[in-house]
Amino acid sequence: MDEKRFRFDLLLAGTALVISTIAAGASAYQTYIINQQFSATVWPYLNFSASYDRSNAFIEFSVRNSGLGPAIVRSAIVTLRGNRMPPGPSGNAIESAVAPDLAAARTAEKAAHLQRVIHMTTSSLLRGDVIPAGSSITLLRASGPLLVSRIAADQDKIDIAVCYCSLLGRCWILRRSDDSNEPHDVRSCPLS
């Protein structure tokens, strides 16, 4: 009789162990789901946009955070024809990328005896910059047909790669040259 009681106690202990293992697994899965839901509430989602007025009035390159959380910029690299651009006189690599177009447009402006037709503003993205949810940054805005037509002709040769992270440390990289215009997961961001 003691042997039957021992087997019943062993069966009861084994059942309790299985039930507690299932409960621990369910708890771990629930924690995983809650973590995924929380990370979605602080998820930044950057995308590039370009605006071009066919009458050559202006051209604009912007980056927008369409996500729910801020995007913390870890690196931003501008290339022209595959060559990395150094910061220009104002510390902006985008300015360096369009400098040949700007110089040619200014020369053409002087030759045509025009004054102050060309206008250009640029902004840079630096390590540590934060793009809040729902906001955008205009990286380049140029106006004047002499400049706009040149930048429009070269715009496919200018690439911008932005690596950014969420508040929780998850990181993505977005390239202007990527036709999908979607960020891709990365383990960490390269130093710019």
User: Which residues neighbour 119 within 8 Å (Cβ) at sequence distance 6 or greater?
Assistant: 142, 143, 144
The pLDDT value given to residue 38: 65
Record the tokens describing residue 44, joined without a space.
């930044």
The pLDDT value given to residue 85: 92
| Closest to 156 measured CA to CA, from 97, 106, 105, 102 | 97
Q: Is-contact 152 23, C-beta < 8 A? A: no
Question: Per residue of the chain (192 residues), what is the pLDDT tens digit?
Answer: 455 556 777 778 888 899 999 988 888 888 788 766 665 667 899 999 989 887 768 999 999 999 989 999 999 999 999 999 998 778 889 999 999 999 998 888 888 877 767 889 999 899 999 999 999 999 999 998 888 988 988 888 999 999 999 988 899 999 999 888 889 999 988 775
The C-alpha atoms of residue 153 and residue 48 are separated, in whole angstroms, by 18
The C-alpha atoms of residue 3 and residue 9 are separated, in whole angstroms, by 10
The pLDDT value given to residue 175: 94
Strand partners, 184: 173
| Largest Cα–Cα separation, the chain | 113
The C-alpha atoms of residue 74 and residue 162 are separated, in whole angstroms, by 8
| Closest to 171 measured CA to CA, from 75, 99, 98, 41 | 75
The pLDDT value given to residue 30: 86
The pLDDT value given to residue 79: 93
What predicted TM-score, i.e. pTM, was given to this entire model? 0.76
Place of tokens 């710019």: 192
